Structure 1
């Protein structure tokens, strides 16, 4: 599709359908809206476009995270740590802002009427649609990347992962592959975040695979692009996923299950004997 000066929600929705975005299922979207011509109505119009493309039976979801979350608190200067310990509001799935670094779309989905959000303060999804409640249902102490997590449900449903001009290294679902891969040892991260328990704010301990550096020592296996980009491009090279140009922007779509199967195999082949 050729570039134009601006695009509307209806035009983008039609373009997504023409590019092969399936209706009726779950679509997890990562978006870089600045790659497109001017979108009339901004992020709100993108949500309308996605809902049009997936239809009334479809569900859209995005990785939201939590703005200004204290994941790296242990490495901060003591004065900053103290300020967060005393002043950071507790995570509340209903009101805590999505992380701005993930773009404008997750926060717009989070604030959409009847949106749902999963419970983990660092790894949470926001979703709209008939499967949103099922997809995001979770507890604080659940493994946010493992079996039974919202990411695992994306695989169970064989959701479509839509990279709407987003870089391939933002493919969150690869972290689920890291978690379920057989290869050991894995890197783990332990941290605390403020949550509400029995009407009070408590700093709750969490343990999960290290997604900041990666669950494995990837340095000897990937280049400057990073391991998520490398795994995603390997999947494309093996016929998993496809590229589409939408209003001049380079986009990709992956089926969740084949992508995770390929990613776990890629990881196990390189790290099972190490």
Structure 2
């Protein structure tokens, strides 16, 4: 048994977390049949889940039903401009080699990077569609999946040409499972839309397939910064628009994404760069 499993067991309580108990917890939070929901999840923070990541996904699908659509991040931040790597950095002499040799993003094959076991499991399931952005892709399954993942623009991967904007159009929900607002990617859409003193853009790069051939693509995007996302989330929760309750051995937070993004678009100019 790993240390992580031992900690999960200690967090769980009298009974293990199951598909049925998770589905009840999701319903108690307000997740309903037919919902379109973007899920960010830390499996270990939910306690010891009987069945692990597949069980969490099964419970989510039980909650939203056949008419609902699940969406999860399938990010690949390791397929990025090596000069920007900080945790850890790599020698400058490696940069041109990485740009020339890093395998191209393939939505069907490329694994997720640092988004958790549930998202990695989800992106490989039958019927899941994945957007084509080489760093900021999203995976979705359900009636609205094709609309959500289609046409993901290379520049501004969290902007108006992204699945986040399609979720906004659909008035989707965001569900945080065992994670806080620092993981709430929808706030990046607000960063793209809002203005504040000192807002900047940056260059990025990724290996992509064009006409079946690998190439290094460069593009520009907002310089995203999640350092104040927890503060935004706390301020938004104070408006009473976040359902917060137990999920397994952890906590879940459920909210409407459009309301969150609109709130953050007002919050950012008032607090950033002031």
Shorter-chain TM-score: which interval?
Answer: 0.7 to 0.9
Cα deviation code 1:73-128 (max 9, x no counterpart)? 356423332442333110111111111x2111111111010111111111111111
Residue equivalent to 2:62: 52
Q: Which runs of 5+ in 2 are unaligned?
A: 1-11
Q: How does 1:70-85 map to 2 (within 5 A)?
A: 70-74=80-84, 76-85=90-99
Cα pair distance change 1:261/1:92, threshold 3 Å? same
Distance of 1:38 and 1:271 partners within structure 2? 39
Q: CA deviation at 1:184?
A: 5.0
8 A Cα contact 2:152 2:161, kept in partner: no
| Partner SS, residue 190 of structure 2 | helix
Q: Which runs of 5+ in 1 are unaligned?
A: 215-225
| Partner SS, residue 203 of structure 1 | strand
Residue equivalent to 2:124: 111
Distance of 2:68 and 2:13 partners within structure 1? 28
Q: How does 1:194-233 map to 2 (within 5 A)?
A: 194-211=207-224, 213=225, 226-233=227-234
Q: How does 1:126-141 map to 2 (within 5 A)?
A: 126-141=139-154
Normalising to structure 1: TM-score of the pair? 0.88
Q: How does 1:167-206 map to 2 (within 5 A)?
A: 167-183=180-196, 185-206=198-219
Aligned partner (choices 35, 38, 42) of residue 25 of structure 1: 35
Residue equivalent to 2:106: 92
Give yes or no for the alignment of 1:160 onto 2:170.
no
Cα pair distance change 1:91/1:6, threshold 3 Å? same
Residue equivalent to 2:74: 64
Alignment length (residue pairs): 259
Give yes or no for the alignment of 1:35 onto 2:42.
no
Residue equivalent to 1:218: none
| Partner SS, residue 38 of structure 1 | coil
Cα deviation code 1:154-199 (max 9, x no counterpart)? 1111111001111221100000001011435422121211101122
User: Aligned Cα RMSD in Å?
Assistant: 2.0
8 A Cα contact 1:66 1:97, kept in partner: yes
Normalising to structure 2: TM-score of the pair? 0.88
Residue equivalent to 2:24: 14
Cα pair distance change 1:150/1:33, threshold 3 Å? same
Of 197-206 and 131-140, more deviation after overlay is shown by 131-140
